[in-house]
Amino acid sequence: YSDEYTRSGKDSEGAFPVILGHEGGGIVESVGEGVTGVKPVKFHRSQKLPESSNALIECRECKFCKSGKTNLCGRVRATQGQGLMPDGTTRFKSKGKDIYHFMGTSTFSQYTVVSEFSVVAISPKAPLEKVCLLGCGITTAWGAVTKLDGIEGSNVAVFGCGCIGLGCINAARIKKAGRIIAVDTNPKKEAWAKKFGGDGVEFVNPTQLPEGKRIQDFLVDITDGGLDFTFDATGNVQVMRAALEACHKGWGVSTIIGVAPAGHEISTRPFQLVTGRTWRGSAFGGVKGRTELPGIVEGKQHYLSGKMLVDEYVTHHRDLKEIQKGFEDMHQGECIRCVVDMSKV
């Protein structure tokens, strides 16, 4: 989705020509001088030996990383936003001209060059064709929910049932939320919501409400005053407002996860916040990529333990030559995640 957002031209920081892709897994073939966090892997082409998964940058040395207050990293933000490596150069070229990097990873390539800060070693037990998804969406959703205190027994609503929304639903189920409500305008998403959150998930389609009834008002009515927690996974600023206003007065917390188009702004009546609701944002779910991602792969409540769903997100597979069809699959609304196999051209 983030790749398509940039490809569409709506991303104000989009630099072209570019190799897209920001969510992936691969084998470390070689490392540069001074790299200590990962090492090259000796393997046969027929083997599947996952060694690393691209994730949010974490240098562990900048003001942000050392603060203990955020998972954001300020070390290479300026160059990454320009499609460059930390040293200000590109490592891709075509006919002598520079090709830009994307989000520090450019995973839509059989070979890529990344900063040590953008790659993390993971368990060799994890299948690359599945855990590649932990490089962004699923981990983002997981962290956004699980890093909040008080989910157990609470009322939770998730707006948008794409990959991130479904991830929030799955995380809310694992954290034993008392009630989970999924909100989406596509009726086909109801089955997905129940698959990831259980048969107890309630599905609400805003387009099917009584005339003049706003989704936030409807949710407040059916939850005795509002939700304890809401999550926006749409990137639509009007939905973000609805998610906040669906929260319970005095303590409701609404988390913005979806990224809105450049220039769009959020708004609500200040009284919504004065009366105790909290509006917050979450990048990569608050997860520190290099420090925490290995545990998400093989922790007790995570993927290899069987608690956290990952395989179920893969609805489509494409070879590299079919990558354009992968984007088309997404636009048809019947694809959660399409995994592109870089070994098959």
For residues 40 and 290, the answer to whether their CB atoms sit within 8 Å is no
**Separation CA 136–CA 56 (nearest Å):** 8
pTM of the predicted structure, to 2 decimals: 0.93
Interacting residues of 23 by C-beta distance below 8 A, sequence separation 6+: 54, 107, 132, 133, 135, 136, 137
Spatial distance between the Cα atoms of 290 and 92, rounded to a whole number of angstroms: 25
pLDDT-wise least confident of 72-81, 165-174, 266-275: 72-81
Task: Let me know whether 192 and 294 are in one domain.
Answer: no
106 and 81 fall within a common domain: yes
- Structure tokens, 184: 């989406």
Give yes or no for residue 295 having a pLDDT over 60. Answer: yes
Residue span of the structural domain in which 281 resides:
140-286
Give tens-digit pLDDT for 297-327: 998 878 999 989 999 999 999 999 999 998 9
Strands of the 179-183 sheet, one edge to the other: 202-204, 179-183, 155-159, 229-232, 253-256, 278-281
Lookup: tokens for 249? 């007065």
Nearest to 159 by CA among 62, 236, 79: 236
Whether 146 and 273 share a structural domain: yes
Domain boundary among 286, 308, 324: 286
Q: What is the mean pLDDT of the chain?
A: 91
Whole-number Å distance between alpha carbons of 167 and 135: 13
Domain shared by 220 and 178, yes or no? yes
Domain identity same for 108 and 24: yes
SS3 percent helix, strand, coil of the chain, rounded to 5, is: 35, 15, 50
Q: What SS3 class is residue 329?
A: helix
Q: Indicate if 282 and 297 belong to the same structural domain.
A: no
pLDDT tens column, 17-75: 999 999 998 888 899 998 888 888 765 443 344 444 455 789 999 999 999 999 999 98
What is the percent of the chain with per-residue pLDDT over 90, rounded to a whole number?
A: 72
- The predicted model gives 107-115 an average pLDDT of 92
Total domain count for the chain? 2
**CATH code, domain carrying 93:** 3.90.180.10
Interatomic CA distance for residues 24 and 21, integer angstroms:
8
pLDDT tens column, 203-231? 999 999 999 999 999 999 999 999 999 99
Same domain, 198 and 307: no
Per-residue model confidence (pLDDT) at position 90: 95
What is the average per-residue pLDDT within 265-282? 98
Query: Which of these three, 268, 286, 304, is where a domain ends?
Result: 286
Please give the distance of CA 319 from its chain centroid, rounded to a whole number.
23
Both 232 and 120 in one domain: the answer is no
Interval 128-146 mean pLDDT: 94
pLDDT given at position 195: 98
- Asked if residue 69 and residue 86 are part of one domain, the reply reads yes
Residue 155 and residue 120 share a domain: no
> Taking 90 as the threshold, does the pLDDT of residue 241 lie above it?
yes
What CATH number corresponds to the domain at position 250? 3.40.50.720
Residues 107 and 199 reside in one and the same domain: no
Distance (Å, rounded) from C-alpha 345 to C-alpha 9?
Answer: 27
Q: Are residues 239 and 305 in the same domain?
A: no
Reduced to 3 states, what is the DSSP secondary structure of residue 151? coil
Separation between Cα atoms, residue 231 and residue 187, nearest integer Å: 19
| Mean local confidence (pLDDT), 187-198 | 97
Among 240, 259, 286, residue at a domain's last position: 286
Are the C-beta atoms of residues 296 and 308 closer than 8 Å to each other?
A: yes
- The one-character DSSP state at 31 is -
